[in-house]
Each structure stands twice: as structure tokens, then as C-alpha cells.
Amino acid sequence: MELVFRNKGERTRLEILKQSIIYSSQYGLADITIGRVSKLCNLSRTDVISHFENKEDMQIAILQYGEDLFRERVIKTAWREDPLDHLIRLIENWADWTSEMFKEHQVSCPFIKAVVEFQNRPASKVRTFTIEQQNRLLNYLTHRVVRCVEQKKLTAEITSDAIAYELYSLYLGHAITQHTAPIKTSDTLFKNSVARLLKQYQVNNN
């Protein structure tokens, strides 16, 4: 995502967020602290603190930065006129979006890592944000399915949120196992699984 920054402070904040989203895509968000970020970016703790009120605010800013990248790299580039083509491209973009951005690192989806880390922790601003973020992503996917149903690309016999849930479940499985399971063709298997799932819900217009 190309942005123009007016001053050194904005450039420093961007570098903090960039290094932090890479780190959290590798090791998780809960491990992110002011001290760790200062080491990642070769900054003093004071320099890092000057950009965020506290650790929680920094963690939320990292997730929001990731969501902004997601919109640019996944949502915007997925657009197709045909709603089913759009849905398929969205899922394919979504599958490996962090790996595509940070090729030199062994990473996976920072949103999944964060929601798994925080879902059973005591209530906090970060926990609330991670859950709301997952809901936003799933709702967006559901809206794309709804568009397919409205244009008679997918059946209306099954609720759109149920189809979206199945698609998202496939994505979760792929995101978690692609770097751990001894399967070299995981990308192809994932795409084929999505195709099979959608095929059973496609409307036969012949």
C-alpha cells in the first residue's frame, strides 16, 4: 500500500506497524510489547511510546493496519463483474495474502492468530477488537455470497451465511495447516476444495 507521509513521525509509525504486523504474522499479537517493538525497529522505548498510549492501543493499531492492508491487497484486487468470479477470487486472494506481501518471512494470517490468542482471555479492548474484526471479515464474505444468490449464481435454498461459514472454515483450515502439514500442494488442494463446495450450491442455468 503506497502512502505519502508528511513527516518523520508518520514514517516512523508506519515502520513500527509494518515490522509489528510481520512479527505478529509469525509469532502472534500477544507477544508484541513496547520493548519488543523497540528492538524490532531499532528505536528507544520512548520513541515507540510516543506513537501509542499503551500496549493495548499499539496492538489494536497493528490489527487495524493489517486490516487496511487486507482491503488493499485482497478486497480491492478481487473485484470482478461476475459475482461468482468475484467470490472465488476473493477467497483465493485471502488464502495467502500475508505470504504474498512478506515473501521473505514464514507467516500466516495475523487476524486468526490474534483471535485464537485472545478469545478466551479476560475482556479487554484488544479482545473486543479481534472478535469484531473477525465478524467484519465474515460479514463481508457473506455479502459477497448474497450477491451471488441475488444474481442467481448460487442457490437460495441454503442461507448465505451458512455458505459463507463453510467457505471461511475451509480458509481457516488452510491457513492453519499450510505451513505445518507435509503437503506440498496445499494451495491447489484448497482451491479445489473451494471449487467443489461452490459447485454443489451453483444454480444450473442450462
Residue 1 lies in a domain: no
Residue 177 lies in a domain: yes
Higher model confidence: residue 206 or residue 170? Answer: 170
Residue 3 lies in a domain: no
Cβ 67 vs Cβ 147: under 8 Å: no
pLDDT for position 98: 85
Query: And the C-alpha cell for 139?
Result: 460479514
Mean pLDDT of the chain: 90
Q: How much is the average pLDDT of 125-132?
A: 96
Q: Name the percent of the chain lying above pLDDT 90.
A: 73
Residue 206 lies in a domain: no
SS (H, E, C) the chain: CCCCCCCHHHHHHHHHHHHHHHHHHHHCCCCCCHHHHHHHCCCCHHHHHCCCCCHHHHHHHHHHHHHHHHHHHHHHHHCCCCHHHHHHHHHHHHHCHHHHHCCCCCCCCHHHHHHHHHCCCCCCHHHHHHHHHHHHHHHHHHHHHHHHHHCCCECCCCCHHHHHHHHHHHHHHHHHHCCCCCCCCHHHHHHHHHHHHHHHHECCCC
Model confidence band, residue 116 (pLDDT cutoffs 50, 70, 90): very high
Q: How much is the average pLDDT of 86-112?
A: 87
Residue 103 lies in a domain: yes
Q: How much is the average pLDDT of 145-172?
A: 96
Model confidence pLDDT, tens digit, residues 22-48 = 999 999 999 899 999 999 999 999 999
Model confidence band, residue 1 (pLDDT cutoffs 50, 70, 90): very low
CATH of the domain at 18: 1.10.357.10
pLDDT for position 205: 57
Buried b / exposed e over 37-75, threshold 16 CB at 10 Å, is: bbebbebeeebbbebbeebeebbbbbbebbbebbeebbb
Model confidence pLDDT, tens digit, residues 179-194 = 776 667 888 889 999 9
The answer, as to whether pTM is greater than 0.75, is yes
Total number of domains in the chain: 1
Res. 79: pLDDT tops 50: yes
Domain range holding 123?
8-201
